[in-house]
Structure 1
Amino acid sequence: MHFRQLRQDGKKISAIGLGCWSFAGSYGPTTETEAHSTLSAARDLGVDFLDTANVYGMGVSESVIGSYLKANQNSFTIATKAGISRDPETGARTFNNQAAYLRTELEGSLSRLGLEQVDLYYMHRRDVDIPIEDVMETLLAFKAEGKIGGIGFSEISPASLRRASAVGGVDAVQSEYSLWTRQPEMGMIQTCKALGVAFVPFSPLGRGMFTPTPPDPATFEKGHFRTGTPRFSEPNFSHNMTFISQFQSLAQALDTSPATLAIAWCLAQGDHLIPIPGTRSAAHLAECVAGCSFEMTQEIKDAIDDILPIGWAHGDRYAPEQWPGVEGYC
């Protein structure tokens, strides 16, 4: 396993992490036993970075990780998030970056995880009514108290990152980034590099599209996250599959998995990138880990660019109701 720097204090973690949203059933039914098996597989493969959030299953993902840590020596660096509030009955989202709210949510996360300190704490979504400078002051106070080890933001703009960094050290920014979602190349990856901030791509496998067996939207159950997402709806999905099939053929010609190739491409975009694919399969996770040792040459990069030119994907990455809270730029 290769390692990359996560925090500005020099803390390093495995070059890829494990996204734990699926532990809460966002991509289909699961069990605590299945999640624990995935965590054991991650540990055995050398993956030591876990990414979760307070709203993943309304605390379910954190609780599952916490029960695993209770039964096993903690060898993981853990990131969690707050800032999204969900109505328990309707599921409607609002955003809250108030200091008192964040403190309550942080205490809840620490309790569910069974930790006194979380290694990295993200502002999951911005509350536009509160200046990001004020949010930084709140997070810096948590850090001074020893409750968090590092500060992160999710889905913000490069301009917001610069504003936050003027107040104190930001350790990581998390945004969706993959071979079909490349907006971060329009300023965020570069700004993170310039400021010494880790860039953490979530959904680096295109929500399953760059796996050996891409998802079939016809099998999505009610409540499944991808249901209604434009890229997974017709006619967009069929158009997208014509590109994906070419990528699968390239991976086969290179004697590797599409997942391995997609992760290797992501890692090659900068030594400050730490992708966090989400999976509940040990075999799939092993394919992702193989991306760390795959030799990504310029020739292969050029071949990928020919097959998947920037902007190739049909349809938005989010449905209209999913966009609020994501900062636009460029």
Structure 2
Amino acid sequence: MTGNTAGIEQVELGRGGPLVGVQGLGCMGMSEFYGDTDEAAARQTLDAALEAGVTLFDTADVYGRGANEEFLAPFVAAHRDRITLATKFAIERTDDPLYRGVRNDRAYIRGAVEDSLRRLGTDVIDLYYMHRRDPDVPLAESVGAMAELVQEGKVRHLGLSEVTGAELREAHAVHPIAALQSEWSLFSRDVERSAVGAATELGVAFVPYSPLGRGFLTGAFADASAELTADDFRQYQPRFTGDNAKTNGALLTPVREIAQARGATPAQIALAWVQQRAAVHGLTVVPIPGTRKPSRLAENTEATRITLTPAELSLLEPIAAGVAGDRYPDMSHTSAAREG
């Protein structure tokens, strides 16, 4: 089911899910992880997104330890009937800035949703994701607890993040899953091993996060350790520093060449490639590039109108296989770590 608004195209987010703009907005960087934020510009970006037809706004309780949900609350209140609000639970933080735990048990889920509802200032979350999987907790327990939230009217639709195809099928058998959110880009294609096929089979929408390779695919920086601030977490991602960054930077040549020939930007080519996965794999794809600037928002949404040719796609196809370095220093909580 598709439709059109004054802005970007709309698509159904999973079978029976809400209609959303074919591109969403990742809000994480408005509060943390990518250095200092201009709050006024970030709020202008939210408004610009809605005006462009972006209706899926993505946050999580872990972003700023709740600060990002609180930041979004006034926007949510002003536009509640026009937006699809997505947030997540499962990543646990403490006062130790390097600590990341994962909780999927029923008691934790029930506490987490109440905290998110309070911070967001709403009585219902449109799409509630399990942010990461704890393999020690049965999926039936976690998804069963999430399903209770739907029955109670606190959540409308369920989502998962960074799960394998087998895990998605197992969860979907407990309660319908509307969306799977995992990293998917020209640099990160491990989800194509099993998760994409399962999503297609089940009618689950795919929501790629970091479709711009956390900015690296745009050419915004060439080496995180040399160019980004000390509080920017990209300094700790292996593929963005040192020899890995040099290797990966060389892979961007066809992206730049296609962009130049089309009068587009590298970001638009990278996003167009992700958007075109919908046609390639036969599923709904709604990437959520993050930005804090209205100008970048306009650039990103314009990419939804670009269709790459078979020749261009052929030039981009080898990139992922040449990428040096993992997505995270510790890959244990990604779907890639649990693939057979």
Tell me the secondary structure at the aligned position of residue 209 of structure 1.
helix
CA contact (8 A) 2:187 2:213 kept: yes
Post-superposition CA distance 1:232-259 (Å, at most 9, x none): 1111101111121332122111211111
Deviation at 1:228? 2.3
Post-superposition CA distance 1:190-244 (Å, at most 9, x none): 1100001011100001110222534542122223111121111111101111121
Specify the alignment match of 1:304 in structure 2: 316
For residues 339 and 233 of structure 2, the distance between their equivalents in structure 1, rounded to whole angstroms, comes to 24
CA contact (8 A) 1:124 1:154 kept: yes
Post-superposition CA distance 1:3-42 (Å, at most 9, x none): 1221322421000100011011211111432321110111
Specify the alignment match of 1:326 in structure 2: 334
For residues 85 and 67 of structure 2, the distance between their equivalents in structure 1, rounded to whole angstroms, comes to 15
Deviation at 1:71? 4.6
Tell me the secondary structure at the aligned position of residue 245 of structure 2.
helix
Map 1:77-92; keep pairs closer than 5 Å. 77-92=84-99
CA contact (8 A) 1:53 1:62 kept: yes
Partner AA of 2:322 in structure 1 = W
TM-score by length of 1: 0.94
Tell me the secondary structure at the aligned position of residue 78 of structure 1.
strand
Partner AA of 2:130 in structure 1 = M
| CA RMSD after TM alignment | 1.6
Specify the alignment match of 1:199 in structure 2: 206
Tell me the secondary structure at the aligned position of residue 156 of structure 2.
coil
- Equivalent pairs: percent with the same residue? 37
CA contact (8 A) 2:14 2:284 kept: no
Specify the alignment match of 2:184 in structure 1: 177
Specify the alignment match of 1:209 in structure 2: 216
Q: Pick from 264, 269, 276: which aligns with 1:268?
A: 276
Tell me the secondary structure at the aligned position of residue 152 of structure 1.
strand
Specify the alignment match of 2:247 in structure 1: 239
1:229 aligns with 2:241: no
Post-superposition CA distance 1:289-315 (Å, at most 9, x none): 11111122222212322xx44411111
Tell me the secondary structure at the aligned position of residue 57 of structure 1.
coil
CA contact (8 A) 1:208 1:215 kept: no
Specify the alignment match of 2:227 in structure 1: 219
Q: After the TM superposition, list the runs of 4 or more consecutive aligned residues in structure 1 that deviate by more than 6 angstroms.
A: none
CA contact (8 A) 1:209 1:244 kept: no
1:283 aligns with 2:295: yes
1:32 aligns with 2:39: yes
1:314 aligns with 2:321: no
CA contact (8 A) 1:35 1:64 kept: no
Of stretches 243-252 and 138-147 in structure 1, the one that deviates more from structure 2 is 243-252
- In the alignment of these two chains, the number of paired residues is 326
For residues 38 and 74 of structure 1, the distance between their equivalents in structure 2, rounded to whole angstroms, comes to 19
Specify the alignment match of 1:154 in structure 2: 161
CA contact (8 A) 1:240 1:313 kept: yes
For residues 79 and 85 of structure 2, the distance between their equivalents in structure 1, rounded to whole angstroms, comes to 15
For residues 155 and 258 of structure 2, the distance between their equivalents in structure 1, rounded to whole angstroms, comes to 43
For residues 52 and 309 of structure 1, the distance between their equivalents in structure 2, rounded to whole angstroms, comes to 29
1:251 aligns with 2:256: no
Specify the alignment match of 1:127 in structure 2: 134
Deviation at 1:69? 2.6
CA contact (8 A) 1:212 1:257 kept: no
CA contact (8 A) 2:184 2:209 kept: yes
Specify the alignment match of 1:292 in structure 2: 304
Deviation at 1:74? 4.9
In structure 1, list runs of 5 or more residues that go unmatched.
none
1:188 aligns with 2:198: no
